[in-house]
Structure 1
């Protein structure tokens, strides 16, 4: 599409966020729209940080793979071997690989296959969720949905369990594991885990659809393995370049499952285009929407970040179809 059409879509939809397109490291388009903070009239800039919801699952997957390379975990490590008596409804044969590929079949605390709506108050005491261990009561009590390995079934809780397994295998907190193994090696200086109740001035407040109300009561106060890290469009471009310059790209982008209901495929923590080699991270939550794609053949990265639930999708569809 002509790049000038981005402005028209942004105007027609009231888009609030940032769009960036770069090719082989050269920026072709980069522009910010709307407000990062409506109460104070603070505009978004191209350097504004946004929560990316489930886009963070890619960071979790890369952290786990780095631990596998070091021998602290293996793809066939069972969750039970590290959970002990915790989360007894998780089947004994569920492995790290099942969790990475959404084929574990475990019950999900935030089940997107049900009647979940993005702006629901779905979690409860969000202020208490400051550590991965604090998620244990939330993860507990959900019956198995299907046998491990039987099929693909997108599972947020599975990625929280992955974060928990990584912590127990290393004795180090999940947030520091991601910082040490993904953020610092890729020089992602504008990407981090931020408390929603004390956001820095350069971070966009997330707003519920059609309201000037923030998402502070809707999401964990501090994100963990299933997503919610904050980043910029520029850091996402750096992220993709680092991924494909490193050792994990082939493994995480090898298709493990077709997901026909989404017209996509899935690797390890990353969505894959149905027919091409384009790799995708995407996220959707209360006050957050995000999609970033990378074509490893052309080196083209397209990133759309928004601080509203539906905001990213019209431009993302137009640019990434």
Structure 2
């Protein structure tokens, strides 16, 4: 652990033992549908030594934390059981609250799949169709969007709504969900298309902002309430929500983002709304938004993401046909982050929310996210019964951690 951490609590101590159960029995019900597959790839269900407490992956994370190269929570789970749970660094330096295995983190874009799942559920309920146009459900959009951009396009980042000004930092500090929603709706209606919908794949947070508005309009519920009822509650994600900035400040279980500054210092983004980070989109600070949206920044924990994975694979969130629609690859495109050439890395695809690809010829779905002062990623290895979560509340690269995770789980 890093030198500035407080003494570990009981939860942290359990995490350091690598055995933090999801429930008293440590297992959330029966194994998912693919339980016949094994982590070792031989049907035995053995846990590789490298992934156990004290193994190579555990030592790698500890070394990063000791060098102040990681602050956050890492969780590996197999068939619903926590194999390795680690937490390092501080969730709130001012209050001297350490990160725990069940600390709540702002997920940034890693919560986009919750938006996608909400849309797929509405399709399952026959309230919309994937080929519906934006104008079939929402008013006020220019004709090029209303008449040509489909729900499928927005889910797969092929809508063309990728105006470069979308990435400009917004210095305005919002004070209510209603104000934030009005602002997003106005920005969405001011979009122009960079390319003909369906002809290219280019990441578009604005497409998911529109999907969030669509969920609210079609369901008759505010977006945050619909996701809480139809995703979080159904999955048993007891610590997940779209928290307001007020709740972010008051709730001691929520980690604060520590944004890197030009001088190398880190600033608490929730307490210093006038400050922005230097990485990602320079000057941005997600706490100014007041509350998350269809485009991201829901809040959750590593254990809740395991619950989400199990509920998804057991068809508790969607009927089987619609679960398959949600997780299966739809559109190929370049990876969001290029890295060193790796022959084990499969071609990048997008499903209806998560990314969908292969590594070492094993399927997984995943999504990452980044805000000033935080990086997140979760992965569900569909045929191996593994779930891996990396949640960080510093401006630090987590791609090397994900690479270590992938190579060892799929070995």
Report how far residue 143 of structure 1 moved.
Answer: 1.8
Query: Structure 2 matches for 1:300-315, cutoff 5 A?
Result: 300-315=386-401
Matches within 5 A, 1:1-321: 1=50, 2=56, 3-86=58-141, 90-108=145-163, 111=166, 122-128=169-175, 130-131=177-178, 132-199=181-248, 200-209=251-260, 210-216=264-270, 217=273, 218-219=285-286, 220-246=289-315, 247=319, 248-262=322-336, 264-274=348-358, 275-321=361-407
Tell me by how many angstroms 1:172 deviates. 1.1
Stretches of structure 1 that go unaligned for 5 or more consecutive residues are: none
Which residue number in structure 1 is paired with residue 282 of structure 2? none
Check the 8 A contact 1:152/1:259 in 2, yes or no. Answer: yes
In the alignment, the residues of structure 2 paired with residue 64 and residue 177 of structure 1 have an alpha-carbon distance, to the nearest angstrom, of 10
| Distance apart, 1:106 and its partner CA | 1.7
Aligned partners of 1:108 and 1:139 also within 8 Å: no
Normalization by structure 1: what TM-score? 0.91
* Cα distance in structure 1, aligned partners of 2:74 and 2:257: 17
Measure how far apart 1:158 and its partner are: 0.3
Q: State TM-score, norm by structure 2.
A: 0.72
The aligned residue for residue 41 of structure 2 is none
CA shift at 1:87, angstroms? 5.5
Matched residues in 1 for 2:265 and 2:205: separation? 26
Q: Secondary structure at the match of 2:247?
A: coil
> Structure 2: how far apart are the matches of 1:255 and 1:126?
37
Flag the 1:160–1:296 CA change in 2: closer, same or farther, 3 A.
same
**Is residue 254–residue 267 contact of structure 1 (8 Å, CA) maintained in 2?**
yes
| Distance of 1:110 and 1:228 partners within structure 2 | 20
CA distance in 1, matches of 2:65, 2:402: 11
Q: Which has the higher contact order (CA 8 A, sep 6+)?
A: 1
Which ranges in structure 2 are unaligned for 5 or more consecutive residues? 1-49, 51-55, 274-284, 337-346
Q: Secondary structure of 1:56's match?
A: helix
CA distance in 2, matches of 1:284, 1:129: 23
How many residues end up aligned between the 2 structures? Answer: 313
List per-residue Cα deviations over 1:56-81 (Å, max 9, x = no partner).
11100111111111111110111112
Structure 1 stretches of 4+ with a deviation exceeding 6 A read none
Say whether the 8 Å CA contact 2:162–2:202 is kept in structure 1. no
CA distance in structure 2 between the partners assigned to 1:283 and 1:245 by the alignment: 25
Aligned residues: CA RMSD: 2.0
Q: How far apart are the structure 1 equivalents of 2:176 and 2:209?
A: 12
Q: Distance in 1 between matches of 2:373 and 2:145?
A: 31
More divergent stretch after superposition (75-84 vs 307-316): 307-316
